[in-house]
């Protein structure tokens, strides 16, 4: 979250993805979508996006090929396991704007990509790495009266850990049992991002009262690793993002008030985003309705042509006796056949073939238009439902923000913050009591 304190902060986030979600990630990262819900994406600038690693194929096909080549192993994984990961590297827009913009951002993320290779464990496990330069920072653009773009990088990868496969007791050679049979790179998000023990200044584990080590969340470790790497690369004018200790010099009351203010900002941001999505959906709905009308008009225009084509085919399907010319009084059968019948039939066959091919083309075109029209009508209905949901969601967000502001004005932000904290503590206490009760129940049941 931006703090608006003039300090430039870098951040690294990780998202675990299943097979069902990786397709949407690919379409977003590689800009394969026809339209985007984010109104700040400028498709005309997509050529400014930079690949530090270009995908060799579809993400899922690359995964399948690596598995076939035994570069990775999925042995023992569940069907719904997270097979993919995405790292998102980011810095506030002002940092790049103040350092020269696009060219500086390219160099920064080229160095960030090197950090990604180390974090992932090797470039061979990275499917794609792309810097987006086509997303406009609306607030800065309006403030500076010129376009400012938000540069960030997406790295799609396969999370792997080294796994040793041991010889089992079924091995015919007893001396090999328990020894390493082979080492594979196992796909595993949970083990790749396992929490690590926190260390003191002497490098020793920090222990809790019960003697167990204090664990540092894996994503906190990710932030530290990325920050250290970028500092070592020469970017000494940025700070680590999302550091909890940055508030340590604030009084407790100040800190609580700021936290509640951040929540209000999040509500307002969500409301703004929802309103933008409403506008986008309304525009998309209008476009869909226009496309449906256009398809219907083309269908209406094509239908009579099909009828005329069928009539024409029927006209040349009459009894040959009715359309053959009469023989002359002194005309022999051979001359009649060669000079009148054969030319006439050849002409009829030629016309029928032409009519038949034209008829097939029109039928095919008619069916495609009918299918397109049905899709647009279905899409329009779906957009109408989605629009109603978003409008309702926006109404809820607006009410929440307005109610919060009313309560803050009536009781003061400090009192509101203290009340919220008390409620949270009460909820945590009740949650802990329920957990203890469940444990006691389970012990009694066993």
Q: What is the pLDDT of residues 356-368, one digit of tens each?
A: 666 666 667 777 7
Residue that wins the pLDDT comparison between 51 and 319 = 51
Residue 361, Cβ density class (10 Å: 0-12 exposed, 13-18 middle, ≥19 buried): exposed
The pLDDT value given to residue 367: 72
- pLDDT band, very low/low/confident/very high, at 119 (cuts 50, 70, 90): very high
Counting Cα atoms < 13 Å in the Cβ hemisphere of 169 gives: 0
pLDDT digit string, tens, across residues 207-220 = 777 777 777 677 78
The token pair at 57 is 């194929």
C-alpha span between 131 and 90 (Å, rounded):
10
At 309 the pLDDT is: 59
**Strand partners of residue 239:** 9
pLDDT tens digits, 231-241: 999 998 888 87
Q: Are 369 and 298 in contact (CB under 8 A)?
A: yes
Q: What letter does residue 325 receive in the DSSP assignment?
A: P
CA dist., res. 9 & res. 230, Å (int): 11
Q: How confident is the model at residue 143 (pLDDT cuts 50, 70, 90)?
A: confident
Mean of the pLDDT values across residues 323-342?
Answer: 61
Non-local CB neighbours of 393 within 8 Å, separated by 6+ positions: 274
Strands (E), 73-136: 84-91, 126-132
Q: Furthest-apart CA pair in the chain: how many Å?
A: 125
Write out pLDDT tens, residues 51-102: 999 999 999 999 999 999 999 999 888 888 899 999 999 998 889 988 989 9
In percent, the amount of the chain with pLDDT more than 90 equals 28
Please list, in sequence order, all residues whose beta carbon lies within 8 angstroms of the beta carbon of residue 406, skipping any fewer than 6 positions away: none
User: Strands 215-216 and 152-157, how do they pair?
Assistant: unpaired
Number of continuous H segments (helices) and E segments (strands) in the chain? 12, 10
What the block records as the tokens of 275 is: 């309103």
With CA atoms as reference, report the closest residue to 3 among 262, 268, 249: 262
Q: Please give the structure tokens belonging to residue 122.
A: 């090797």
pLDDT over 60 (residue 103): yes
Spatial distance between the Cα atoms of 198 and 160, rounded to a whole number of angstroms: 23
Look up tokens 């009740």; give the residue.
430
- φ and ψ at 422, to 5 degrees? -65, -40
Confidence of residue 247 (pLDDT cuts 50, 70, 90): very low
Q: What is the pLDDT of residues 392-402, one digit of tens each?
A: 777 777 777 77
Contacts of 158 (CB under 8 A, 6+ apart): 63, 66, 72, 83, 84, 85, 125, 127, 187
Tell me the pLDDT band of 3, cut-offs 50, 70 and 90: very low
pLDDT of residue 342: 67
At 298 the pLDDT is 66
At 174 the pLDDT is 84
Residue 352 has pLDDT above 60, yes or no: yes
User: Residue 15 and residue 20: Cα distance in Å, rounded?
Assistant: 14
Per-residue pLDDT, 239 = 87
Ranges 72-76, 197-201, 311-315, most confident: 72-76
pLDDT, position 246 = 35
- pLDDT higher than 80, residue 433: yes
State the chain's mean pLDDT as an integer.
78
Q: Where residue 16 falls among pLDDT bands split at 50, 70, 90?
A: very high
- Per-residue pLDDT, averaged over 400-405, amounts to 73
Contacts of 211 (CB under 8 A, 6+ apart): none
Exposure of 192 by Cβ count < 10 A (0-12 exposed, 13-18 middle, 19+ buried)? Answer: buried
- pLDDT score recorded for residue 252: 39
Please report which confidence band the pLDDT of residue 280 belongs to, taking 50, 70 and 90 as the band edges.
Answer: low
Q: How confident is the model at residue 437 (pLDDT cuts 50, 70, 90)?
A: confident
Backbone φ and ψ for 282, nearest 5 degrees, come out as -65, -45
Q: What is the DSSP letter of 150?
A: -
Tokens of 215: 């664990």
Asked whether residue 423 carries a pLDDT value surpassing 70, the answer given is yes
Is the pLDDT reported for residue 312 higher than 60? no
Nearest residue to 43 via CA among 56, 30, 54: 30
Between the alpha carbon of residue 212 and those of residues 63, 139, 208, 216, 261, the distances in Å are: 38, 47, 5, 13, 36
Q: Which strand (E) or helix (H) includes residue 234?
A: none
Q: Provide the strand spans (E) within 209-347.
A: 215-216, 239-240
**Considering only 19-28, 213-222, 313-322, which range has the smallest mean pLDDT?**
313-322
Q: Mean pLDDT, to the nearest integer, of 317-328?
A: 53
Reading the block at residue 144, the tokens are 């500076």
Instruction: Please state, in angstroms and rounded to a whole number, the distance separating the CA atoms of residues 324 and 336.
Output: 11
For the stretch 361-392, pLDDT in tens is 666 777 777 777 777 777 777 777 777 777 77
Between 354 and 325, residue with greater pLDDT? 354
Q: Tell me the DSSP string of 336-401.
A: HIIIIIHHHHHHHHHHHHHHHHHHHHHHHHHHHHHHHHHHHHHHHHHHHHHHHHHHHHHHHHHHHH
Q: What is the pTM of this model?
A: 0.53
At 155 the pLDDT is 97
The answer, yes or no, to whether residue 4 has pLDDT greater than 50, is no
Q: CA–CA separation, 272 vs 398, rounded Å?
A: 10
pLDDT of 327 reads 56
Cα separation, 414 vs 419, in Å, equals 9
* 348 contacts 316 by C-beta, under 8 angstroms: yes
């Amino acid at each position: 979250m931006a703090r608006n304190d003039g300090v430039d902060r870098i951040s690294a986030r990780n998202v675990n993805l299943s097979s069902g979600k990786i397709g949407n990630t690919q379409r977003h990262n590689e800009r394969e979508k026809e339209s985007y819900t984010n109104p700040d994406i400028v498709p005309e600038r997509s050529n400014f996006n930079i690949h530090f690693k270009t995908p060799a194929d579809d993400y899922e096909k690359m995964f399948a090929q690596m598995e076939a080549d035994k570069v990775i192993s999925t042995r023992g994984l569940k069907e719904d396991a997270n097979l993919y990961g995405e790292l998102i590297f980011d810095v506030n827009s002002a940092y790049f704007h103040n350092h020269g913009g696009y060219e500086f951002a390219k160099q920064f993320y080229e160095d960030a990509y090197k950090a990604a290779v180390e974090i992932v464990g090797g470039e061979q496990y990275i499917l794609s790495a792309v810097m987006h330069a086509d997303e406009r920072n609306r607030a800065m653009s309006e403030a500076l009266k010129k376009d400012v773009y938000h540069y960030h990088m997406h790295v799609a990868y396969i999370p792997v850990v080294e796994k040793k496969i041991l010889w089992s007791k079924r091995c015919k050679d007893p001396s090999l049992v328990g020894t390493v049979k082979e080492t594979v790179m196992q796909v595993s998000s949970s083990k790749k991002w396992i929490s690590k023990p926190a260390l003191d200044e002497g490098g020793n584990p920090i222990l809790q009262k019960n003697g167990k080590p204090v664990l540092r969340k894996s994503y906190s470790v990710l932030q530290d690793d990325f920050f250290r790497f970028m500092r070592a690369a020469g970017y000494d004018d940025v700070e680590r993002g999302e550091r909890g200790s940055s508030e340590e010099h604030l009084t407790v009351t100040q800190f609580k008030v700021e936290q509640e203010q951040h929540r209000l900002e999040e509500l307002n941001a969500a409301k703004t985003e929802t309103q933008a999505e409403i506008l986008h959906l309304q525009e998309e709905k209008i476009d869909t309705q226009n496309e449906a009308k256009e398809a219907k008009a083309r269908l209406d225009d094509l239908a009579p042509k099909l009828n005329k084509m069928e009539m024409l085919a029927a006209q040349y399907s009459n009894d040959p006796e009715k359309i053959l010319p009469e023989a002359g009084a002194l005309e022999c059968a051979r001359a009649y056949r060669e000079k009148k019948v054969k030319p006439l039939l050849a002409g009829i066959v030629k016309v029928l073939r032409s009519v038949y091919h034209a008829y097939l083309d029109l039928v095919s075109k008619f069916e495609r238009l009918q299918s397109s029209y049905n899709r647009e009508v279905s899409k329009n209905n779906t957009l109408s439902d989605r629009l109603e949901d978003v409008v309702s969601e926006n109404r809820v967000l607006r009410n929440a923000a307005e109610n919060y502001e009313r309560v803050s004005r009536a009781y003061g932000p400090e009192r509101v913050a203290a009340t919220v904290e008390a409620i949270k503590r009460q909820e945590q206490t009740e949650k802990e009591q329920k957990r203890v009760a469940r444990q006691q129940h389970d012990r009694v049941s066993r």
